[in-house]
Chains A and B, each alone.
Chain A
């Protein structure tokens, strides 16, 4: 019996390490503690017209997608066609949160790659993004009519995420009224 102990230990270790490898793909993605909670309060200037300020209260009343992006963010460029497609469906407005980005750079980026967003909030100091728990751009939130964060994705949106997570959630929120 005792001769099999090393083999048993080896097999157990193998299982453990394999499980670790399989899970490492999602390791860097941290579940947000903000899901199910009201979005943080903010008041930010609009990117197109900084004299206009938008508060979190003004965003209440209808669900929207909040997409955190920046002109320095390479993955955002890669994600852009998916944002265009999601916004183009007309099911839910996509609002941009321009993160740690000088205004001119952001405007130039939009001019170059197109602007499918409803409008953009400008968070050049990155302070509101901290309240949203943002640590990497792009990040995407789905916020319901009551201002509760229902979904969060870190990294580029893909057509699959839009199809399998965001659109069903939009339907669910529509059913909630």
Chain B
């Protein structure tokens, strides 16, 4: 039991060490908390293409670091969020955006959930109505049985 605890402790220490070494890379100097918040918003809306299921703010890939400093530099130049996103889309395509834009080739993506909701609603409404009618019929039958 004791040995297991020591092992677990060592593992935990290793994990903590790993996270601190990761966190020490590339400290960006923000002028204001607002600027930092804006940077974090942007970096969490853009995909890191090296490890495609992570955002730029999550990823430790060298390219993600480069792109983060690129975003930082563009913010310092006074570029707007849209300009920064356009810079990314020009190079890597719409795929970098975690929030895909509404355009002809993404219509299905945007409308499918609404369509599914509508179909689900219809199916539910029909089922509820049928069940209500069934219950009513049963009640009528019981009533007439009682009378007889």
Contacts and interface: CB of A to CB of B under 8 A. Distances in A.
What secondary structure prevails in chain B residues at the interface with A? Answer: helix
Contacts of B146: none
A126 B66 contact: yes
A62 interface: no
Interface string B14-56: 0000000000000000000000000000000000011010000
Interface magnitude class on chain B: 10 to 19
B62 A126 contact: yes
Contacts of A126: 62-63, 66
A34 B139 CA distance: 70
Contacts, number: 36
Nearest to A31: B93
B82 to A, nearest CB: 16
What secondary structure prevails in chain A residues at the interface with B? Answer: loop
A4 interface: no
Interface in A117-161: 125-127, 130-133, 135-136
B90 interface: yes
B89 interface: yes
B70 interface: yes
Contact of B50 (A127, A133, A136): A136
A105 interface: no
A177 B92 CA distance: 30
Contacts of A135: 49-50, 63, 92
